Structure 1
């Protein structure tokens, strides 16, 4: 295994990437490689197979995408499929395909996501034109392979991304069939958040003398850790900026650093926060030292409340006034998380560390908890009522402070007397309080931010072993479920994983959205969210389960 703590001074230029890719990374605002990128990219550029333990959010997409883009043929030649990336869900297929395209657009990279739920005719037309990189869910990839529309004879690299998730969803047979159709001398890359024996078994069969990388960090015992209050808010990406503004409105930090992954995100978020009424400044590698010093001087002087920064730009900062550290995204490694939050809670001072986590980043958050051996409390994004209550409290506090200065108040006695001649004193007091409240910068925010139900934590091996065969636990969010009848059962060799894999691979649902499954000899019953039932019925009607077409409908006895 390679060194799990690579130097933090490594740049993308040090990794051996071609200039075109370096230019693309610079345009996207990426300043330095994450630990998984630092370790994996040089290995993959050498053509070695790789078995990597890394969770979502560690930067592993760029870790495999940049080396495979190095293999693209020169522009103008025939387009052939150089790389196949297998992922568990349609959402991840879209995300990975978009990332590969962004990294390789100056190379003319042709990238196609292939997944269920999209008209197959569109995919057939694109594949017929030719694609350099295909990112696919296993079920749809196998479908195209059997149709002869996905030629794999020239594939040089196969990536299995989130392999443990694909196995959990019942895609083991599809993966085996797809790998068997690729050249034996291909480069194989396997990434998995966990590395259980079944992953090792796949690696033993399909990887040749792989380099093993486990992104692991043992946080230090930094002084004052106990003084840092850690909280995480689970929120969809579309609502993250609004959620951050709401949290900051309620927290009212004296001084805070908000960490982002890229320069572009820093600039966009700084603009958003300023529009909300905060005094925010950006800090990233695109600024010279004079500009950085000016920003930090303003923060220390109190003329700036928030600094929105990348890790590389904020390295080495120590600010006495800092009360909050905010992770706008879950950090790429536990080590990075500990380093960030260590900027508060120093020298006996209390501090607060806040993290905004998208649902797909929860496994990364749990990985941080395991490595730090600390629970990060989950908190709900403040509601409109919470915000208004906090603003009223701030107004009361401001008026109380002013009331304590009796001498200064006396000079306004004549104003009060004049107003009292025409108005009731209660009305005058209310008008004065309203002016104070409005002058405090209280925002007129009346939009509720949707709450995200956190998925149950992954059961350990013992819990999974004790679970009854053919039965899956119902979702914990209490949502309305519909029971679907699927016309294949044990007689066709169907297992729970086959049904989960078919649904997750062909619809927008993930395995965690699916409820109880009951399999009989001739049919199966599957619970899915009621609002997605029609989508599931249509999708399963277009695909096969264990190689068989099955009738699918709402179960008359249960729906």
Structure 2
């Protein structure tokens, strides 16, 4: 594309995309002035009815990119009962967000949009389907449930959208997606959006998309068009020092709101308690919590009564928090794609976001792999020292005092200063006032130095591959090769990753860190364990109960 094309694209408007008046009015009322790059590229071919395969990170405007074409083709104030569009996505939170977007854009068309997800009363969803809907926005599990009940009819569907498709595969929804797509007309338009393109996803696209338009949109750049708005930093920290190091880094960074990602729910609970002990307002979010508890936590974060969310990847999927300034990886993610998804949550709407990773000395190669996949450098630093922390706290005190001086309205305190000036030098009075203000900031003294370490240059550690996208032979990020085990129970038996981790760690000498990628299918599961421990794990799992049932366990033949 030549520079003239670039200039023409950046000046495009929604009117140029020839959207119907009702949509233009809704967009104008919402304050949207011009389409984002992904909307410019995706809307015209989608309105023409083409299939589309789009690679786009969170925050690029992809919801409107598929919602507006669906609404463009919708009959206004339609009365038929069966839906004409189906949007499938991985989580309840994302279903609610996308559904609300459809409502906002399609208000003047009388669009009937139904979010369908687990954890909500199914009776209400059944009633809405019976009354008639135009667009169903669903998680795969609940959509399949309604299909099996005969309540969701997909015979009239014109467009199917798979949003965050890589996340759906990671969560084990591959079989559900196949079953749902089999119930839709072969003539349908299929749209697939994903932040990453693992091999399994490419295979899904080849089976279900016909001659698709392919687009790839990077995260937005700064106004100068140079660097991403996410500052990416890694701190090299010994494992035992991670809680103290995280607290100190957060003290230095002073985030408005942050998500700290942990690997396990036990780590989430432990770290939340530690951070609250340091004076932070931290909330835990993991799969062991009810939907009501999750909603309460998110309400506190969005309402400003909490500033840190400590979460597992699965629990945080689909969350969109406007005031989020920092994302912290408490561990280096084993899958580079997870890192891409995490940092996509910050650096939006012109604000700089910050991505922080705590890396152990042996994790150099994993970090380099993430840099290559993410396509941007990660600055490696050592943990701030006690001196750094004290200097930062003094900076904050200086800033607070300067704001107070600029605000004025200090006459009520003049009598105090004048009376003390008769006895002490004015400089001494000011120093005492600064000391009181500094100590009133509530920051506890932190005199413990954290060991300064660097990466091990000749570490044999490599990134874990052959993970949830199923590609390649299994390898471990530490400790040599892995064995992939077949477990003869899956989603049908209610098995979740945590059940397998618990069964293995409870019956063997392995810890959660030793267990690799886990895939949960409808009737079976695959789990990676260190090769030297494979036979022990097989024997232990055969002798124990998983979800109250005995399971066939063997090495995977694939």
TM-score by length of 2: 0.52
CA distance in 1, matches of 2:417, 2:488: 88
Name which of 516, 528, 546 aligns with 2:523.
546
- Equivalent residue, structure 1, for 2:501: 516
- Residue-by-residue CA offset, 1:384-441 (whole Å, 9 max, x unaligned): 999753333558999xxxxxxxxxxxxxxxx9997555x4x27x656444667999xx
> Which residue of structure 1 aligns with residue 127 of structure 2?
125
> Superposed, which structure 2 residues align to 1:380-419 within 5 Å?
388-393=393-398, 419=420
Change (3 A) 1:75 1:192: same
CA distance in 2, matches of 1:367, 1:36: 24
Choose which of 137, 162, 165 in structure 2 pairs with 1:163.
165
Q: Residue 145 of structure 1 aligns with which residue?
A: 147
Q: Which residue of 1 aligns with 2:231?
A: 230
1:252-271 deviation digits (Å, cap 9, x = unpaired) = xxxxxxxxxxxxxxxxxxxx
1:183-218 Cα deviation digits (max 9, x unpaired): 111111111222233222222221121111122489
Q: Is the 8 A contact 1:171 1:501 kept in 2?
A: no
Alignment of 1:111-260 (within 5 A): 111-216=113-218, 230-231=231-232, 243-244=255-256
Q: CA deviation at 1:380?
A: 11
Alignment partners' CA distance in 1, 2:57 and 2:39: 13
Q: Judging changes above 3 Å, is the alpha-carbon distance between structure 1 residues 374 and 17 closer, same or farther for their aligned structure 2 residues?
A: same
Give distance in 1, aligned partners of 2:125 and 2:417: 75
Counterpart position of 2:377:
374
What does the per-residue CA deviation read over 1:478-501, in whole Å, with 9 as the maximum and x for residues that have no partner? xxxxxxxxxxx8445x3xxx4899
Q: Show CA shifts across 1:15-40 (max 9, x none).
A: 12112112222222222212111100
**CA distance in 2 between partners of 1:111 and 1:358 (Å):** 38
SS in 2 for 1:7: helix
Q: Aligned partners of 2:344 and 2:166: how far apart in 1? A: 27
Residues 378 and 55 (structure 1), Cα distance of their counterparts in 2 relative to 1, 3 Å cut: farther
CA RMSD in angstroms, aligned pairs only: 5.8
Q: Residue 369 of structure 1 contacts residue 376 of structure 1 at CA under 8 Å; is this kept in 2? A: no
Where does residue 538 of structure 1 map in the other structure? Answer: none
- CA displacement at 1:177 relative to structure 2: 1.0
CA contact (8 A) 2:488 2:523 kept: no
- Specify which structure has the bigger relative contact order, considering alpha-carbon pairs within 8 angstroms and separated by 6 or more residues: 1
**Taking structure 1 as reference, are residues 119 and 29 closer, same or farther at Cα in structure 2, changes over 3 Å only?**
same
Call closer, same or farther: CA 1:367–1:191 in 2, change over 3 Å.
farther
Contact 2:43-2:65 at 8 Å conserved across structures: yes
Matches within 5 A, 1:413-492: 419=420, 421=422, 423=423, 425=424, 431-433=429-431, 459-461=464-466, 465-467=472-474, 490-492=487-489
Q: CA deviation at 1:142?
A: 0.8
Deviation (angstroms), 1:134 = 0.9
Describe the SS at the equivalent of 1:123. Answer: helix
Distance, in Å, in 1 between the alignment partners of 2:383 and 2:33 is: 32
2: CA distance, partners of 1:140 / 1:472: 35
> What residue in structure 2 maps to residue 362 of structure 1?
none
Distance 1:45 1:379 in 2: 51
Q: Distance in 1 between matches of 2:227 and 2:113?
A: 45
- Tell me which residue corresponds to 1:355: 353
- Cα gap change, 1:126 to 1:185, in 2 (>3 Å): same
Contact 1:161-1:192 within 8 A present in 2 as well: yes
Counterparts in 2 of 1:20 and 1:73: CA distance versus 1, 3 Å: same
Change (3 A) 1:171 1:389: same
Query: 1:69: how far off?
Result: 1.1
Structure 2 partner of 1:238? none
Give the number of aligned pairs: 370
**CA 1:379–1:71 in 2, change beyond 3 Å: closer, same or farther?**
farther
Once the two structures are TM-superposed, the CA of residue 114 in structure 1 deviates from its matched residue by 1.2
Take 1:108 and 1:119, find their aligned partners in 2: how far apart are those partners? 24
Partner of residue 36, structure 1: 38
In structure 2, relative to structure 1, the CA distance for the partners of 1:27 and 1:472 (3 Å cut) is farther
Indicate the larger mover: 47-56 or 21-30.
Answer: 21-30
Contact in 2 for aligned 1:71/1:82 (Cα 8 Å)? no
Give CA-to-partner distance per residue, 1:65-121, whole Å, 9 cap, x none: 111112222216334311111111222212211222222122222111111122222
1:94: which partner in 2?
96
Cα shift at 1:243: 3.7
**Measured at CA, do residues 229 and 129 of structure 1 come closer, stay the same or move farther in structure 2, by a change above 3 Å?**
closer
When residues 79 and 8 of structure 1 are mapped into structure 2, their CA distance, relative to the original with a 3 A threshold, is same
In structure 1, list runs of 5 or more residues that go unmatched.
Answer: 234-241, 247-271, 274-307, 309-326, 341-352, 360-365, 399-414, 449-456, 474-488, 504-510, 529-543
- Contact preservation (8 Å) 2:45, 2:213: yes
CA separation of 1:45 and 1:331: change in aligned 2, threshold 3 A: farther
